[in-house]
Amino acid sequence: MRRKIVAGNWKMNLTKSEALSLYNNISSAENLAADVEKMIFAPLLFLDALKQNESGLIKIGAQNFYSEAAGAFTGEVSFSQLKDLGIRYVLVGHSERRVIFKEEDELVKAKVNAAINAGLKVIFCCGESLEIRETGTHISFVVNQLKNNVFQLPEEAFGQIVIAYEPIWAIGTGKTATPEQAEEMHEQIRLAVAQHYSNYLAEQTPILYGGSCNAGNAKELFAKPNIDGGLIGGASLKTADFIQIINSF
Protein backbone atom coordinates (compact mmCIF):
# COMPACT_ATOMS: atom_id res chain seq x y z
CA MET A 1 0.00 0.00 0.00
CA ARG A 2 1.29 3.45 -0.95
CA ARG A 3 1.30 6.34 1.51
CA LYS A 4 -1.73 8.63 1.29
CA ILE A 5 -0.93 12.31 1.73
CA VAL A 6 -2.92 15.52 1.93
CA ALA A 7 -0.78 18.66 2.07
CA GLY A 8 -1.99 22.23 2.44
CA ASN A 9 -0.11 25.00 0.65
CA TRP A 10 -1.05 28.23 2.39
CA LYS A 11 0.98 30.33 -0.09
CA MET A 12 1.35 34.02 0.91
CA ASN A 13 -1.78 34.11 3.06
CA LEU A 14 -2.71 34.63 6.74
CA THR A 15 -1.32 36.63 9.62
CA LYS A 16 0.65 34.88 12.33
CA SER A 17 -2.32 34.59 14.67
CA GLU A 18 -4.57 33.38 11.84
CA ALA A 19 -1.96 30.78 10.88
CA LEU A 20 -1.65 29.48 14.43
CA SER A 21 -5.37 29.26 14.94
CA LEU A 22 -5.99 27.57 11.57
CA TYR A 23 -3.28 25.03 12.40
CA ASN A 24 -4.72 24.41 15.85
CA ASN A 25 -8.26 24.08 14.52
CA ILE A 26 -7.24 21.50 11.95
CA SER A 27 -4.99 19.50 14.25
CA SER A 28 -7.52 19.39 17.06
CA ALA A 29 -10.29 18.02 14.83
CA GLU A 30 -11.53 14.73 16.22
CA ASN A 31 -12.33 12.94 13.02
CA LEU A 32 -9.09 13.17 11.02
CA ALA A 33 -8.33 10.03 8.99
CA ALA A 34 -5.43 8.37 10.81
CA ASP A 35 -4.02 6.59 7.76
CA VAL A 36 -3.48 9.82 5.80
CA GLU A 37 -0.23 11.81 6.22
CA LYS A 38 -1.10 15.44 6.78
CA MET A 39 1.16 18.41 6.11
CA ILE A 40 0.93 22.17 5.99
CA PHE A 41 3.31 24.28 3.91
CA ALA A 42 3.21 27.61 5.71
CA PRO A 43 4.86 30.98 4.99
CA LEU A 44 8.51 30.91 6.14
CA LEU A 45 7.86 33.71 8.60
CA PHE A 46 5.53 31.54 10.72
CA LEU A 47 7.47 28.28 10.63
CA ASP A 48 9.19 28.74 13.97
CA ALA A 49 5.98 29.56 15.82
CA LEU A 50 4.09 26.73 14.12
CA LYS A 51 6.89 24.29 14.79
CA GLN A 52 6.80 25.11 18.50
CA ASN A 53 3.11 24.38 18.37
CA GLU A 54 3.36 21.25 16.17
CA SER A 55 0.95 18.51 17.15
CA GLY A 56 2.69 15.59 15.51
CA LEU A 57 -0.56 14.87 13.68
CA ILE A 58 0.09 17.54 11.07
CA LYS A 59 3.63 18.11 9.88
CA ILE A 60 4.95 21.55 9.07
CA GLY A 61 6.86 22.19 5.85
CA ALA A 62 8.45 25.12 4.02
CA GLN A 63 7.21 26.53 0.72
CA ASN A 64 10.63 27.76 -0.33
CA PHE A 65 14.36 27.90 0.46
CA TYR A 66 17.62 28.53 -1.36
CA SER A 67 20.03 25.84 -2.49
CA GLU A 68 23.08 27.16 -0.62
CA ALA A 69 23.64 26.46 3.08
CA ALA A 70 24.67 30.04 3.98
CA GLY A 71 26.18 33.19 2.56
CA ALA A 72 25.53 36.43 0.75
CA PHE A 73 22.02 35.77 -0.58
CA THR A 74 20.00 38.74 0.64
CA GLY A 75 16.42 37.91 1.46
CA GLU A 76 16.79 34.15 1.15
CA VAL A 77 16.41 31.34 3.68
CA SER A 78 18.57 28.24 3.44
CA PHE A 79 17.77 24.56 3.80
CA SER A 80 20.11 24.41 6.80
CA GLN A 81 18.23 27.22 8.54
CA LEU A 82 15.02 25.25 7.98
CA LYS A 83 16.63 22.12 9.37
CA ASP A 84 17.73 24.06 12.42
CA LEU A 85 14.06 24.86 13.11
CA GLY A 86 13.23 21.18 12.85
CA ILE A 87 11.56 21.46 9.44
CA ARG A 88 11.68 18.18 7.49
CA TYR A 89 9.48 18.83 4.44
CA VAL A 90 9.94 21.27 1.56
CA LEU A 91 8.11 22.13 -1.64
CA VAL A 92 10.27 22.43 -4.76
CA GLY A 93 9.36 23.36 -8.31
CA HIS A 94 5.95 24.92 -7.66
CA SER A 95 4.72 26.62 -10.82
CA GLU A 96 4.33 29.94 -9.00
CA ARG A 97 8.07 29.80 -8.22
CA ARG A 98 8.84 28.80 -11.80
CA VAL A 99 6.56 31.34 -13.51
CA ILE A 100 6.51 34.39 -11.21
CA PHE A 101 10.00 34.09 -9.72
CA LYS A 102 11.63 32.69 -12.87
CA GLU A 103 13.03 29.56 -11.28
CA GLU A 104 14.52 27.56 -14.14
CA ASP A 105 15.18 23.83 -14.28
CA GLU A 106 18.77 24.33 -13.19
CA LEU A 107 17.79 26.02 -9.93
CA VAL A 108 14.92 23.59 -9.30
CA LYS A 109 17.37 20.72 -9.71
CA ALA A 110 19.92 22.37 -7.38
CA LYS A 111 17.21 22.84 -4.75
CA VAL A 112 16.11 19.20 -5.04
CA ASN A 113 19.72 18.04 -4.65
CA ALA A 114 20.44 20.39 -1.73
CA ALA A 115 17.29 19.39 0.14
CA ILE A 116 17.82 15.67 -0.33
CA ASN A 117 21.50 15.88 0.65
CA ALA A 118 20.42 17.72 3.80
CA GLY A 119 18.01 14.91 4.67
CA LEU A 120 14.86 16.88 3.92
CA LYS A 121 11.85 15.30 2.24
CA VAL A 122 10.81 16.93 -1.02
CA ILE A 123 7.40 17.38 -2.54
CA PHE A 124 8.38 17.98 -6.13
CA CYS A 125 5.81 19.88 -8.22
CA CYS A 126 5.44 19.49 -11.96
CA GLY A 127 2.74 20.40 -14.46
CA GLU A 128 2.04 21.95 -17.82
CA SER A 129 0.55 25.25 -18.92
CA LEU A 130 -2.68 25.47 -20.93
CA GLU A 131 -0.70 26.26 -24.11
CA ILE A 132 1.26 23.04 -23.75
CA ARG A 133 -1.85 20.96 -23.05
CA GLU A 134 -3.50 22.40 -26.13
CA THR A 135 -0.60 21.27 -28.31
CA GLY A 136 -1.04 17.74 -26.94
CA THR A 137 2.54 17.54 -25.62
CA HIS A 138 1.64 17.72 -21.92
CA ILE A 139 2.80 14.20 -21.05
CA SER A 140 6.25 14.54 -22.59
CA PHE A 141 6.54 18.03 -21.05
CA VAL A 142 5.93 16.70 -17.54
CA VAL A 143 8.15 13.65 -18.06
CA ASN A 144 10.90 16.05 -19.17
CA GLN A 145 10.46 18.06 -15.98
CA LEU A 146 11.07 14.84 -14.05
CA LYS A 147 14.13 14.06 -16.18
CA ASN A 148 15.55 17.58 -15.79
CA ASN A 149 14.77 18.11 -12.11
CA VAL A 150 14.69 14.83 -10.15
CA PHE A 151 15.87 11.84 -12.18
CA GLN A 152 19.50 12.79 -11.46
CA LEU A 153 18.95 11.42 -7.93
CA PRO A 154 20.29 8.00 -7.07
CA GLU A 155 17.58 5.41 -6.46
CA GLU A 156 17.72 5.56 -2.67
CA ALA A 157 17.45 9.35 -2.64
CA PHE A 158 14.51 9.28 -5.04
CA GLY A 159 12.71 7.27 -2.39
CA GLN A 160 12.49 10.55 -0.39
CA ILE A 161 10.51 12.28 -3.14
CA VAL A 162 6.77 12.81 -3.31
CA ILE A 163 5.54 14.05 -6.68
CA ALA A 164 2.73 16.58 -7.03
CA TYR A 165 1.20 16.92 -10.48
CA GLU A 166 -0.28 20.41 -10.73
CA PRO A 167 -1.49 21.52 -14.15
CA ILE A 168 -0.90 25.29 -14.17
CA TRP A 169 -4.27 25.94 -15.82
CA ALA A 170 -6.00 24.36 -12.82
CA ILE A 171 -4.15 26.22 -10.04
CA GLY A 172 -6.32 28.80 -8.31
CA THR A 173 -8.62 28.96 -11.32
CA GLY A 174 -11.49 26.82 -10.05
CA LYS A 175 -10.92 24.70 -13.17
CA THR A 176 -9.91 21.25 -11.87
CA ALA A 177 -8.44 18.59 -14.12
CA THR A 178 -11.03 15.85 -14.52
CA PRO A 179 -10.23 12.71 -12.56
CA GLU A 180 -9.53 11.05 -15.93
CA GLN A 181 -7.12 13.78 -17.06
CA ALA A 182 -5.30 13.63 -13.73
CA GLU A 183 -5.22 9.83 -13.67
CA GLU A 184 -3.80 9.71 -17.20
CA MET A 185 -0.90 11.95 -16.20
CA HIS A 186 -0.30 10.19 -12.89
CA GLU A 187 -0.13 6.84 -14.68
CA GLN A 188 2.43 8.24 -17.14
CA ILE A 189 4.50 9.75 -14.31
CA ARG A 190 4.54 6.38 -12.54
CA LEU A 191 5.56 4.68 -15.78
CA ALA A 192 8.43 7.16 -16.21
CA VAL A 193 9.63 6.40 -12.66
CA ALA A 194 9.41 2.66 -13.40
CA GLN A 195 11.40 3.06 -16.62
CA HIS A 196 14.06 5.26 -15.04
CA TYR A 197 14.38 3.46 -11.68
CA SER A 198 12.31 0.34 -11.03
CA ASN A 199 8.76 -0.97 -10.81
CA TYR A 200 9.25 -1.20 -7.07
CA LEU A 201 10.09 2.48 -6.69
CA ALA A 202 7.29 3.48 -9.06
CA GLU A 203 4.83 1.54 -6.91
CA GLN A 204 6.15 3.18 -3.73
CA THR A 205 6.21 6.81 -4.90
CA PRO A 206 3.21 8.89 -3.81
CA ILE A 207 1.85 11.10 -6.60
CA LEU A 208 -0.45 13.89 -5.45
CA TYR A 209 -2.82 15.97 -7.55
CA GLY A 210 -3.02 19.75 -7.12
CA GLY A 211 -5.04 22.45 -8.84
CA SER A 212 -8.45 23.56 -7.54
CA CYS A 213 -8.80 20.34 -5.58
CA ASN A 214 -11.53 20.97 -3.03
CA ALA A 215 -14.00 19.36 -0.63
CA GLY A 216 -16.38 18.71 -3.50
CA ASN A 217 -14.05 16.97 -5.96
CA ALA A 218 -11.36 15.34 -3.78
CA LYS A 219 -13.24 12.07 -3.32
CA GLU A 220 -13.55 11.42 -7.05
CA LEU A 221 -9.91 12.36 -7.68
CA PHE A 222 -8.53 10.28 -4.79
CA ALA A 223 -10.55 7.26 -5.95
CA LYS A 224 -8.32 6.93 -9.00
CA PRO A 225 -5.70 4.17 -8.66
CA ASN A 226 -2.69 6.41 -9.32
CA ILE A 227 -3.78 9.46 -7.30
CA ASP A 228 -2.40 9.18 -3.77
CA GLY A 229 -3.66 12.46 -2.35
CA GLY A 230 -3.57 16.16 -2.96
CA LEU A 231 -1.63 19.39 -2.66
CA ILE A 232 -4.30 21.86 -1.70
CA GLY A 233 -4.05 25.64 -2.04
CA GLY A 234 -7.22 27.72 -1.56
CA ALA A 235 -9.25 24.99 0.14
CA SER A 236 -6.52 24.42 2.75
CA LEU A 237 -7.29 27.86 4.22
CA LYS A 238 -10.71 26.71 5.41
CA THR A 239 -10.73 24.32 8.36
CA ALA A 240 -13.87 22.38 7.44
CA ASP A 241 -12.94 22.03 3.76
CA PHE A 242 -9.41 20.88 4.50
CA ILE A 243 -10.65 18.30 7.00
CA GLN A 244 -13.17 17.03 4.49
CA ILE A 245 -10.40 16.66 1.88
CA ILE A 246 -8.22 14.74 4.37
CA ASN A 247 -11.16 12.40 4.93
CA SER A 248 -11.92 11.93 1.22
CA PHE A 249 -10.15 8.60 0.61
Instruction: Give the residues lining the site for ligand PGA (CB under 6 A).
Output: 9, 166, 171-172, 210-213, 231-235
C-alpha–C-alpha distance, residues 42 and 50, integer Å: 9
Active-site annotation holder among 37, 94, 183, 186: 94
Query: At a CB cut-off of 8 Å and minimum separation 6, what does 61 contact?
Result: 7, 39, 40, 41, 42, 87, 88, 89, 90, 91, 123
Nearer to ligand PGA (CB atom), residue 113 or residue 210: 210
Reply yes or no on whether 166 is catalytic. yes
Beta strand extents in 130-195 (DSSP E only): 161-165
Active-site annotation holder among 103, 166, 183, 186: 166
Find the shortest distance in angstroms from Cβ 213 to ligand PGA.
6
Alpha carbon distance, N-terminus to C-terminus of the chain: 13
Reply yes or no on whether 54 is catalytic. no
Nearer to ligand PGA (CB atom), residue 202 or residue 235: 235
Find the shortest distance in angstroms from Cβ 87 to ligand PGA.
18
Nearer to ligand PGA (CB atom), residue 130 or residue 194: 130
Cβ-proximal residue to ligand PGA, closest one: 233
Cα dihedral: 68, 69, 71, 77 (round 10)? 80
Find the shortest distance in angstroms from Cβ 175 to ligand PGA.
9
Nearer to ligand PGA (CB atom), residue 202 or residue 248: 248
Q: Three-state DSSP class for 235?
A: helix
Find the shortest distance in angstroms from Cβ 45 to ligand PGA.
19
Provide Rg for the chain, Cα atoms.
17
- Catalytic center residues: 94, 166
